[in-house]
Amino acid sequence: MKKWYMIIDVAKCENCNNCFLACKDEHVGNEWPGYTLEQPLHGHRWINIMRKERGQFPLIDVAYRPTPCMNCDEAPCVKASQGSIVKRPDGIVLIDYQKSKGKKELVKACPYGAIWWNEEKEVPQKCTFCAHLLDEGWKQPRCAQACPTGCLKMIRVDQEEMNRIIKEENLEVLHPEFNTKPSVYYKNLYRYDKCFIAGSVAYDNNGISECAQGARVSLYKDNVKLAEVQTDAFGDFKFDKLEENSGDYIIDIQFKTDTKVTLNINLNQSLSLGVIKI
């Protein structure tokens, strides 16, 4: 059976908030019978853009991670709801606003924090993947339709096809340790949840500091070479996709034939080494 999946490319999100505003436009002041009551004007973020800054001046990057309901196959909210939250055969999880009235405890049932409490209506609410539109034949929910960079994309495929896409595009799920089998997959998630080590290499050229283009920079851990890169025209290098709090590393920098520098590094969070003079 074909199911709906959402693919989110973290590298393409520019924090424009078009997805958030489109969601508000669709659901604030509008009630969709059988799907959801209207969303409050303030407070709810059914697609919540999380932000993370990595590194230190002058080598910094910022990633944005759109976070909707994960529409999990093993949804904790469904298990806790006693029938007031259901997962449809096409993969979409919906909250029955009549059966769930007054059940504020269901907000805490989602480990991703994707359920919000509507104080006025006394119901839990969340992203519906715009199921009311998909059921009418739309190919994308409002958030994906409004995204100018193609960061958000909905597809409806069977499990075999989804497995192929996961492998080909190197997709990941958020918090795999939750074991909820989410229907939302991320591309380039390392931009948000992994670390980097970066720096700039410079050398002395007759008393003038110059960018060391083409320096060979190697990264080691436990005497194993993990990666090697060459510095660019600005002398910059970067090793990404490293785990937080992963301990000690060694960086070897080789420039031309007679210049070598070795650095011992302890990595907790993303680290900018600044200018390394050789």
pLDDT tens, residue by residue, 121-177 = 999 999 999 999 999 999 999 999 999 999 999 999 999 999 999 999 999 999 999
Cβ density class 129-160: b for 16+ within 10 Å, e for less:
bbbbbbeeeeebbbbbbbbeeebbbbbeeeee
Better-predicted residue by pLDDT, 71 or 258: 71
pLDDT tens, residue by residue, 223-266 = 999 999 999 999 999 999 999 999 999 999 999 876 689 999 99
- Note whether 249 and 274 are within 8 A (CB): no
Phi, psi of 119, rounded to the nearest 5 degrees = -65, -40
Q: What is the mean pLDDT of residues 195-222?
A: 93
What are the C-alpha distances in Å from 148 to residues 5, 15, 20, 64?
19, 11, 13, 15
The residues with which 242 forms a beta bridge, in sequence order, are 195
In this predicted structure, what is the pLDDT of residue 205? 86
In this predicted structure, what is the pLDDT of residue 278? 87
- Which domains are seen in the chain, by residue range? 3-192 (3.30.70.20), 195-277 (2.60.40.10)
pTM for the complete prediction? 0.91
In this predicted structure, what is the pLDDT of residue 207? 85
* pLDDT tops 90 at residue 204: no
Q: What is the mean pLDDT of residues 207-233?
A: 94
